Structure formats: C-alpha cells, structure tokens
Amino acid sequence: MNKEKTNKVLDYFEELFPDAHCELNHQNVFELLVAVMLSAQTTDKKVNQVTASLFKKYPTVESFALASLEDLQNDIKIIGLYRNKAKNLKKMAQVLLEEYNGEVPKTRKELESLPGVGRKTTNVVLSVGFDEPAFAVDTHVERISKRLGFAKKDDTVNDVERKVCRSIPRDRWNKAHHQFIFFGRYFCKAQNPNCKECHLYDMCKDKIKEVRK
C-alpha cells in the first residue's frame, strides 16, 4: 500500500469515525486484560454483558486467583470457550500475584508469557491500557486490511499486522486500529458491505468478493 492510498484510507476513517475507541468496558488495565481474554470468538457486546457482573463479583486480581474454577465457568458460561477461558483467567491472576505483585506487566514479552494471552491480546493491552503503539489484528481488521489491499488474501494474521504497521505511521497505530474495527463492524460488514456509499470502493472492488468471509 503506497503512502497516497494509505492517507486516503486514514483520512476517510477519520471522517467516518473520529471517536473510534475500545468498546470493551473496563475501569483499569487488569479489567481490560480480562475483557480482551474473554473476547476471543465472541462479540464485545456479549463480553460487556458478562463483565458487568463479573467485575462486581471479582473486583481484584486476588479474587480471580482465589475463585473456584467451577464458579468462574458458571459466571462466564454464556460466552464461547468458557471452560478454557475460565482456566486461563484463574491461572493468569495467580501468575500476576506470584510474579508481578498483582500488577499487569507493561512489556510485550511479559504479557505474552501470561496464561491465555497471545499477541492480539497483548497488542490491545499495550495500546489501550498503556498507550504504547501497537496494532491488534482481529477478524474485522484482517478483513478490512485484505479488502483495501494492505495485505493479500492468503496472508496470516502476523503478515497482516506487519504489513499494516509498515504502511501506517507508528504514531497513528492506536487510533487507526480502532477505526479499522469500527469500519468493519459498522460500515464495511462481512456479508453486507456498504459499497454504494463507500469512498474507498475503487480500491477494493476487485477484492471485495475474494476476501468476503
């Protein structure tokens, strides 16, 4: 993606979604980490439904670490993969207590060492929680990146992240990440993209069908 096309995309996203932001409800970095861990293969809306009561029942790292696995499973049962997510939440909280004095670490290496925490979750926590430049690739970002030509149809998630970060200036990663998500979630949807009103249609009209998911 050349600079001219990249700027066209970013300017359009800024016009459409100047206030794009993380839609996972949280009050601190630990709650953000929990919410992002829960968000795999489910919607932010569903996660927010769960965390509304979850964070009241378990307000601290210690309370997650001490919770019974059965209780945690029941508390998040309405979202997908709840058994594995409950196990990872408990283990993650235990590691924070044992190795980080109950604080969420601030480095990529340390974050990715936590149970259940991969690159996408790490990128979100670094970006939203610590305001460090990072670009998380979820299903929306991957789809939009391939539709607009930042990446190729068969690129892996890591390929997409690398290519998008190479095209977009580092100081715009954090905001652009949310704008990519908003564009994919509310405008250029997976099955019903709003092509007729899109100012970027000429950039993706040849790709829109081949990367539709």
In the residue annotation, 120 being an active-site residue is answered as: yes
Rounded CA separation 130/54 (Å):
23
Give me the percent of the chain exceeding a pLDDT of 70: 96
Geometric angle at alpha carbon 56, from 89 and 62, rounded to 5°:
45
pLDDT confidence of 207, banded at 50, 70, 90?
Answer: low
The burial of 25, by beta-carbon neighbours within 10 Å (0-12 exposed, 13-18 middle, 19 or more buried), is given as middle
Is pLDDT above 80 for 213? no
- Please pick, among 120, 146, 163, 175, the residue that the annotation labels catalytic: 120
Q: Indicate the average pLDDT of the chain.
A: 94
What average pLDDT does this structure show over 122-143?
Answer: 97
Least confident of 7-11, 151-155, 178-182, 206-210: 206-210
Rounded to whole angstroms, what are the CA distances from 128 to 6, 35, 91, 119, 212?
23, 12, 23, 14, 28
- How many other CB atoms are there within 10 angstroms of residue 131's CB atom? 9
C-alpha 60/C-alpha 31 separation (Å) is 9
Q: For the residues 115-127, what does the mean pLDDT come to?
A: 97
- Residues in the annotated binding site for [4Fe-4S] cluster: 188, 195, 198, 204
Measure the CA–CA gap between 58 and 75, rounded to whole angstroms: 10
Q: Please report, in angstroms and rounded to a whole number, the separation of the first and last CA atoms in the chain.
A: 22
pLDDT at 209 over 70: no
138 noted as active-site residue: yes
**Residues annotated within a binding site:** 188, 195, 198, 204
The CB density around residue 144, as the number of other CB atoms within 10 Å, is 28
The count of other CB atoms within 10 Å of the CB of residue 11 is: 11
| Structural domains for the chain | 3-20+135-203 (1.10.1670.10), 29-130 (1.10.340.30)
- Structure tokens, 99: 């190795």
The residue-averaged pLDDT of 26-52 equals 96
**Mean pLDDT (whole number) for 200-212:** 68
Catalytic pick among 44, 138, 163, 175: 138
How much is the pLDDT for 88? 98
Whether the predicted model's global pTM rises above the 0.75 cut: yes
pLDDT surpasses 80 at 67: yes
Model confidence at 212, pLDDT cuts 50, 70, 90, reads: very low
